[in-house]
Structure 1
């Protein structure tokens, strides 16, 4: 039975002028996630990542010189655009990350409920369609019993895992809150299709200062 591993990027630079950049801790988290994949002895046939810097750099830190194909469909939702249209335009503030997260949670709920009527450049239905398409294509690239990996973001992972559990919306709005930086989720592919085997594994980070959520 083949498997797909979804790896969340390492910690980005919350509150900085350029959020889309791994922090020093994020780079270390990515390397630890790579070591965990190696420890499992996985022969990875296909590797993907989004085009965002934090996703690409996580893939590089984790896999070294292995070939990774970039695909923008693995990119995260645009939290700035969603905050602008559904959250009052509140900006990231490193001094109060909880307040920003509270706003973003509410904004994401409004974004989902607005559906195609959202003024955002990408609506929830469009986001859902593209991340499902990215996963479907990665599955199609694998032969029987082969393994693939995608380095992506918490919103993408929680949406896809929620979808496999029966509700993509619940995945985004609930699972997304607890995704760990450099956490690993495992999907298995068999005759009956894709199934979620594990979500947000982080034993490789547990009990250390590398365990972060934002």
Structure 2
């Protein structure tokens, strides 16, 4: 049986000119995630990430902790692991409200409504990537990883909350609920785990975040 760890990137730069950059806290979260994998003695032999800066930086920082700074784990970059385009979805389905670091709750409230409208619009959404297209690409990316993970191997995928929540919901039989409900509680640098073998692929954990909670509670963020 093989294992696939779906890892959300560390905190990005919400409200900044360039959102797609890890914040200082996000970099600390990424290292804490890597330290947790090292503590578990997780022998990661395969790794993927999207092309987004926040995903690639999280992979680099976390895997450096896993290997003790020794290079050896090659990370395969695949754009199918990128997040949905929240800016375009907000523009077409949420009234175009921009990120505002002074009021993140208002933006989150808008985004949740916009995501629901995006899903309900289906193939008729004016977004360049519709919900059916997004679902198809993340399913295909996950299927490719599953096909390459052998017995006893451990794979790490560094991606985003919407992707992880959709796939975890899909493994439980409902990708829409995954996107609309699980995504709401996904934490930065959270860890979800699926196992795969002859009986199929099964979700065994979602959104583990003890490494950014408890004694390290100051590291816990959702956006």
Q: TM-score, normalised by structure 2?
A: 0.94
Given the alignment of the two structures, is residue 102 of structure 1 paired with residue 102 of structure 2, yes or no? no
RMSD: 0.7
Mind listing any 5+ residue stretches in structure 1 that lack a counterpart?
A: none
Given the alignment of the two structures, is residue 201 of structure 1 paired with residue 208 of structure 2, yes or no? yes
| Distance in 1 separating the partners of 2:164 and 2:136 | 14
Question: Within 5 A, what are the aligned runs for 1:40-189?
Answer: 40-64=40-64, 65=71, 66-189=73-196
Which is further off, 142-151 or 13-22? 142-151
| Distance in 1 separating the partners of 2:112 and 2:2 | 34
Which is further off, 140-149 or 109-118? 140-149
Q: Which ranges of 4 or more aligned residues in structure 1 deviate by more than 2 Å?
A: none
| Distance in 1 separating the partners of 2:83 and 2:76 | 16
* Partner deviation per Cα, 1:30-57 (whole Å, 9 max, x = no partner): 0000111111112212100000000000
Question: Within 5 A, what are the aligned runs for 1:34-45?
Answer: 34-45=34-45
Tell me what 1:14 maps to.
14
Tell me what 1:212 maps to.
221
Is 1:5–1:186's contact at 8 Å kept on the other side of the alignment?
yes
Is 2:3–2:149's contact at 8 Å kept on the other side of the alignment?
no
* Partner deviation per Cα, 1:116-150 (whole Å, 9 max, x = no partner): 00000100000001011111111111112211010
Mind listing any 5+ residue stretches in structure 2 that lack a counterpart?
A: 65-70
Q: TM-score, normalised by structure 1?
A: 0.98
| Distance in 1 separating the partners of 2:213 and 2:204 | 20
| Distance in 1 separating the partners of 2:122 and 2:195 | 30
Which is further off, 174-183 or 187-196? 187-196
Aligned residues: 214
State the SS of the aligned residue for 2:143.
Answer: helix
